[in-house]
A and B are shown apart, each in its own frame.
Chain A
Amino acid sequence: MSSSAGDTERILDGPRPADKFAPNLARRHRSGRFWLLVFQAATIAGIIALGALVLSIGNGAFGYIAVQNEIDPATLAVDDVGLQDLPKEELVRILEENVSEGLFRRLEHDLPLAERSRQNVYDLIMERVVEPKTVQQWTLFDSLFRQDAIVAEVSGEYPDAQLRFVSWLDPEFIVTPQSGDAMKAGVRTAILGSLWTIAVAILFAFPIGVGAAIYLEEYAGESLINRIIQVNINNLAGVPSIVYGLLGLAIFVRTLQALTSGAFLGFADPSTANGRTIASAGMTLGLLILPLIIINAQEAIKAVPYSLRLASFALGATPWQTIWSHVLPSALPGILTGTILAVSRAIGETAPLVVVGASTFITFDPAGLFSKFTTLPVQIYQWTSRPQDVFRNIAAAAIIVLLLLLLSLNATAILLRNRVSRRLS
């Protein structure tokens, strides 16, 4: 007999209804404790998943690399003076001796060596003569816990190689454009492409979305068409993003090609004349976030107290004057918060942009609405899908850039929300 049943006996006198369930009580409490553990474990599992996600990104973005030089720089030293400290004339001579005649002439043609700086010549030697190559790379996890094995592996397989710990994410990674060589590739084009498409999406979706929200909250009666609009917006928010991609492909890229390729303005750049431009991508994203902006803006407008409108009407203001001067200013921070959340959704979108036709490889900055484009998530997708492991490392670095961008946007949204709630309370 369990102790809790004994307690019950001592407390109760006479015929004891408690006896009927008392034998079960211990079991019921046990199962209660067991399931509480299950529920807690589920919650912890969710947090572990988040942790694993963060770790897997960090795991790829940092780690050891083995770099092997085509020619050991030490053999290029003159009279025991290292390459680092040689004067420019010596460096030019080394360059001339070690590269082919054709290449030397081409370098001379690009910019005469006499006019180049010492640093520039030094970089040329490093790039063309020493030619460092990454022969293998390791994850952060391996680099930390299997250090000895890595050192042994390198000295066994690549005796000439140097082991170096690198962060794939560095300032250079952010400012250099895309490249076929993972060591030199950066996300400059992708970041600019993301900013351009998002700007177009906001310019397109924000006025229309807020307009629609005002209509639905302030003007719409209970008519059939208004109900249809409301239901329709809720359903649009649940349509998979790839379907928007197909819509963008059919409408913006194909049907409106003359507009989105810039041909109607005489910008007929043959490389982008197929309509797969920033304009198409931005408007596709705009359609995608339109329902989100409308729903968020409706919530913000709903939160404005009705007495404010009544007061304005009582002073003789027209409906639009009331909305413009009283409702919108009060709702604006809420609308902006909702818009920022929608935008952070758009920044992370990949599938619709791939369908609309993001370029797989561009190295030049987007010049305007009618340029080809790539964006940060598209770049991450392409790097992740490459078979070579080294591209996973730069994909991880690009993911960190993307997450930092999103984090700063969300922080802005939270700050805005806090400011609003302080002011309204």
Chain B
Amino acid sequence: MTALQQREIKLESQAQTGIQIQRESLAKRPRIREILIQAFLFLCGALSILVTLGIVYELGKESMLFFTRQQWEVTNRTLVEDVPTGWISFRISQSGARLAEGDVIRIGSEVMQITAISGNRIAVERGIQETEPQAHDAGSDIAGATRVTLREFLTRTQWNPQIGKYGIWALVNATLMTSVAALALALPLGLSVAIYLSEYASDRARSILKPVLEILSGIPTVVYGYFALTFMTPLLRALLGVNTVEIYNTASAGLVIGILILPMVSSMSEDALSAVPQSLRQAAYALGATRLETAVKVVVPAALSGITAAFIVAASRAIGETMIVAIAAGAGSNFTFNPFKAAETMTGHIVRISSGDISYDSIDYNSLFAIGLMLFIITLGLNILSQYIVRRFREVYE
């Protein structure tokens, strides 16, 4: 009996006793279930990209509508003669806004396009943009079509949708006012706290102080809004006089945002400081440096990239902060450099306009997305900058 035969007999007996031997190949083969699961998990991850694309697409689409939507503005020009339905050329009053060939105008409910101008006589194409030619009486007002230009949006300082003024600087300026106040409070304070916790405090003190400060960052921002309005504003008014400080003002909102981002600055900076190896400190002490000199001249420079990143993230957070400014900074845009006056920030404006009944087919609705896009670009830029700084300038010690 050969060895092979013996083995087969053995296998048969095993099969009879119920033990299955797989004779399949052990080579890798596709497993449908595993592939499906992996595909599903990939889709979960890819959804985050969809979210980003969705944000960019929606903000971009509505912003495009904002810049292309036709609006009517008063030209102060009128018809000087009756214009029947058939006329394609007529006289208009002399004074008023300048009209040019190709301009779109509206008389009554009819929209026309100017094809030629000669003195006070204009030739038009009647009834465009799905309107019908109508007869108009002498004295009818002529409205001119305008669009919000990107140039106006980015350079003007008045934001007043009622009279068609869309200069983003009124809102950006208020955002900068609150953010600068916030950073002026939070950066020096936050860095000081970080240096104290990392370089001076005992382990026991740190284990108590750090969580206590971090409570501040866990409190909802609407609570800070309440705090700004019922504590910070009355405090400022008591200190500086009720005539100087308005009830709603950017300084109060800004300082409270500073308190909100303080734990973020101190916590991230402290992580950066703690990551500096002990040997650097010991080297500084060995050269006779005092504790302060070691902290400020050795440890802080070594952790500078992390600290800078913390500052930038804090700035991005301050710019995007909404509820504090919506409650305490005031309603209605105002281009002012006085921190004790009310001024509406970008985020505050979005909240105020969207909390009313807003029609989807209106320039107000579109303008929210244009502001949102601006906000998105600024904060994304700052976040990317902070990640770049960490990657590029990080000192790596072993």
Q: Which of B230-255 contact A (CB under 8 A)?
A: 230-231
Report the number of A-B residue pairs with Cβ-Cβ less than 8 Å.
251
Interchain CB contact under 8 A, B42 and A215: yes
Q: A39-B196, A240-B320 are in contact. Are A294 and B379 (CB under 8 A)?
A: no
Q: Which of B306-325 contact A (CB under 8 A)?
A: 313, 316, 319-323
**A242–B43 Cα gap in the complex (Å)?**
26
Answer yes or no: B33 CB below 8 A from chain A CBs. yes
Contact segment of A49-57, A85-93, A143-151: A49-57
Answer yes or no: A279 CB below 8 A from chain B CBs. no
Answer yes or no: B118 CB below 8 A from chain A CBs. no
User: Which A residue's beta carbon lies closest to that of B383?
Assistant: A238
**A40–B48 Cα gap in the complex (Å)?**
42
Q: Which of A195-243 contact B (CB under 8 A)?
A: 207-209, 211-212, 214-216, 219-220, 226, 228-229, 231-236, 238-243
Decide if the interface of chain B is mainly helix, strand, loop or mixed: helix
**A239–B383 Cα gap in the complex (Å)?**
9
Contact segment of B130-138, B145-153, B274-282, B287-295: B287-295
**A384–B325 Cα gap in the complex (Å)?**
13
Q: Mark A228-270, 1 if CB is under 8 A from B, else 0.
A: 1101111110111111111101110010000000000000000
Name B196's contact: one of A28, A42, A220 (CB within 8 Å): A42
User: Which B residue's beta carbon lies closest to that of A211?
Assistant: B44
Interchain CB contact under 8 A, B350 and A242: yes
Contact segment of B120-128, B160-168, B214-222: B214-222
6 closest A-B pairs by CB:
A240-B320, A348-B220, A211-B44, A42-B192, A39-B196, A215-B41
Determine how close the nearest CB of chain B comes to the CB of A279; give it in whole angstroms.
17
Answer yes or no: B113 CB below 8 A from chain A CBs. no
Determine how close the nearest CB of chain A comes to the CB of B211; give it in whole angstroms.
10
6 extra interface residue pairs, beta carbon distance < 8 Å, beyond A211-B40, A232-B48, A385-B327: A28-B293, A229-B46, A291-B48, A319-B34, A348-B222, A381-B327
Interchain CB contact under 8 A, B375 and A242: yes
Q: Could you jot down 25 A-B contacts, CB within 8 Å?
A: A39-B192, A46-B263, A49-B216, A56-B226, A211-B44, A229-B46, A229-B48, A232-B48, A233-B48, A239-B376, A239-B380, A240-B320, A241-B320, A243-B320, A243-B375, A245-B350, A246-B350, A251-B54, A251-B58, A290-B47, A290-B48, A294-B48, A396-B230, A402-B223, A406-B218
Measured between beta carbons, the chain A residues less than 8 angstroms from B221 are 348, 350-351
Interchain CB contact under 8 A, B323 and A351: yes
Query: How many chain A residues touch the partner (CB < 8 A)?
Result: 88
Q: A59-B230, A291-B48 are in contact. Are A46 and B213 (CB under 8 A)?
A: yes
Contact segment of A30-38, A64-72, A115-123, A130-138: A30-38
Measured between beta carbons, the chain A residues less than 8 angstroms from B52 are 232, 235-236
Interchain CB contact under 8 A, B354 and A212: no
Answer yes or no: B141 CB below 8 A from chain A CBs. no
Q: A215-B45, A291-B48, A380-B223 are in contact. Are A350 and B209 (CB under 8 A)?
A: no
Name A399's contact: one of B45, B223, B296 (CB within 8 Å): B223
Q: Mark A270-287, 1 if CB is under 8 A from B, else 0.
A: 000000000000000001
Q: Mark B357-369, 1 if CB is under 8 A from A, else 0.
A: 0001000000011
User: Which A residue's beta carbon lies closest to that of B356?
Assistant: A360
